[in-house]
Structure 1
């Protein structure tokens, strides 16, 4: 359950993005020192990718200066849009204990020669030249005409003692410093890169082609809703612009979409969209697709951009609330073109409808978040039926779901999938495998069982599980999340026990040892095992606690099933009759329905006191 191991896996996948001629990223397996150096460099790549949206290896490598004579600067980034320059000092640790507990030495921060570098000095004070990457950094600063307007920021990608933070560290670094310790690494680098939410566009520009066919090319309409006033802008935009946006921002721009984070492995809707782009030269896409709905805090449109037949649409804090599936499919087509070295001409002359909903500001010029979220939910419920929105989808953005997701990741390093396909990008990039993902429906069944409703937990459909009346009672607050996760791991262990008998045709479900428990009653078992959970169990002992408590209950399950067969209230499931040939009393059992039934909880409480 180590977040550090997930980090290592991500770093190794980032190393593999390097062209083969970058040999330092491909050390031989037995050279641990070289491997750790390669991972340390990939750690910088991770930061640049997540924080600045640099998606390609070469794009990131261009900003990495870490080498001999680097002036204590491991990397930099010049943010021309927000007029900031970042200087990075990173310290990667090759063991989990050191990564989470060892602090960076102050001497390493003393070595940051930022005063001389930002003043254009080409050499150390001792006369030695800075390396070529630092020379390039100096050239970039020199070529920036309005550099005095830039804010210099030092990023320390390492642990640092609290007493050195704030003004104390500024005395060493010259400029304001931001500390990314191990916790920030896990929460702000690892989780976002796995979920594809690592880049937050504050202002997005979309270039729109305008031609003779597009006379009166947009509709601008103000609508007064029961919640607040909004502006709606509707216009046709080039599909390649939508594709580029999703390719860069991925799930960051789909946060409010209940169907976001989709794993687009198939589906008829996706296939039709793909075919209309890749196989048809004309613009059938505009006919086949219902369009994309985007939310915006501010929207600006102008066809006076100094370019013939072009206009610009600028949206602030954009989020796609409907049509995310369409947009994501376009981005995948675009990505395949880039990776396969194919032309993007397949997007030419193909446009789709974009509807931008802009929220009105209050008297203070602010956006009321409560009203905004209320309106978002209302729009979500009214979305078209291109793909059905399930009850689980509707609950995906609720506060308790987000809290559960955060708690499970921060405590155990697992990924609770509150939205379908939420971590598909991480799986596709091989950052994690699916065993690290917690299925939301299974998790809800575990929660229901632990709360004393084992029969309902097994018989309820997915739609019923996430109905408001059940969901809001079971997941009323975040206090039981760790216990629920314990139950989820117990279920995983029971599934593993069942797999041991798969090849035994005479005892496929371990019936000789555990009765019908593994075949029909695993969810009920979880509710019992979870009674042994204690909040003081350490993460390092978690797996052993699961196994020992599960084995204890498993050892008692045959006797439990004998007990329930003798209970008068269970006659509907266990019918006794006399065999006419042998004259012996026989019990006809129906454990499948029993483990869905209403007497189950009473029996569990009576037997496992």
Structure 2
């Protein structure tokens, strides 16, 4: 186990605990959900770990849950936090999780733990009706005794057989978290100018050269069966450098490739691996087929091999090396495009389209768009430069000297580096445009919906406009932070009680989103958002605490009035759900409160454009 990994996880967990005013054990469960399931944001992870039966109540042994409809899996979590490195857990977490499952299988028994537990039980029973696999996950900031793991697996296997259910177990200990982390952060080195030997399993190959009518002019392809053992060893040697052209960096081993692993290592099933698997697509700069002494093809020498489809398969061969026989092989299309600009353009399309059938996120398929490349370059040319992360995991591929280019020496930027994320930035722009609710609750449509995507990432937009939206969002995330209670009171007054502040922290994503939307609505001078508005806004952000002090008082008063109104309305659905509604009524209500307060603050002899001039009074 690595002390470095322990410290890294502990820091992130403590940040979550501080930001959302939750205990470290709950924050660790939140961290596990975010880390294991790609696409989970903090708000969603908090919802999935909200299992307590009222204030101070128990959770029935359940710390988190997740229903994966794509692959029909229902995940239950029991997490154990430790403040000391090297903690070894016994069978207690396993027993608690098994107990939680037994309680969930009966709605009557589940009801003793409250409505939240019943909600999970109802969802679980519906999943079982549709033949879902139940996955019992134990998350540990330490390790578990080997005999406890073996006993847990045996107990669950017997239980599954008795109940005629499909149940499996997964122990996520510190060592496994470390392995997963390494898979999330691939190398930034490339294979350009380097050649590697891929051994063939079969001498039967299809070689389509420049004259083949199947291919466009100038393209060359070989279709062959690659030897599994050789591929696994080569993948261990080259690691993530094999995936540099992929639309996403390697995201690690997850449940989606479990079936690949199982068929690969099974002594009987492994001979069918070639038939089960869709194969690989490898782009390269050049290739050469080599023969043995009898003139029979035995290998392909590939220059700059880039696996653009089949990353999970290659990862399986790499991870399972030594656990499978010489039987498994995999079909591969090795493609050599023309070296001109058209060849490079089509290569990117191949990387995108061959992944469109796989469970990659929508944002991954947009990462190589021209507009995203242009934004990356534009942000890099700002003074000072900003790093725009269009591919997930891309920042982790940079070496320290490269990161230092974006290091912030003023202490103003969170994380000490000037970084922007494609999804984060897109959400911030939707907030700016007046869609604060859907920016959070429907973030996937940002990349799924062509009309929304084209509008948000308009090529005519200046990078400073995007920069303002993103930085304003970050500033309000820091302002509406669980550890900033006293700072909020100092700015807004003591009328925001602890109870109200906790309710706001539970809806922090929406509070931040609406704060951004309202601030931008006030700052906008004309009907559309202009570069001049962004430049004024960036000056305000540079002095956020002083310049926006009067404005933030008005903003907090609006949230306070909404909370009071909801408390007096017996039919109200609650603060968080009110903000999450996509009808925009929450934004209108908050804006009306702001206008009313601004009118009271203005003087009759002043001709103010309320509330913009109050927001900019110090600036002017």
TM-score by length of 1: 0.49
Q: Which has the higher helix share?
A: 2
Greater Rg, structure 1 or structure 2? 1
TM-score, normalised to structure 2, is 0.49
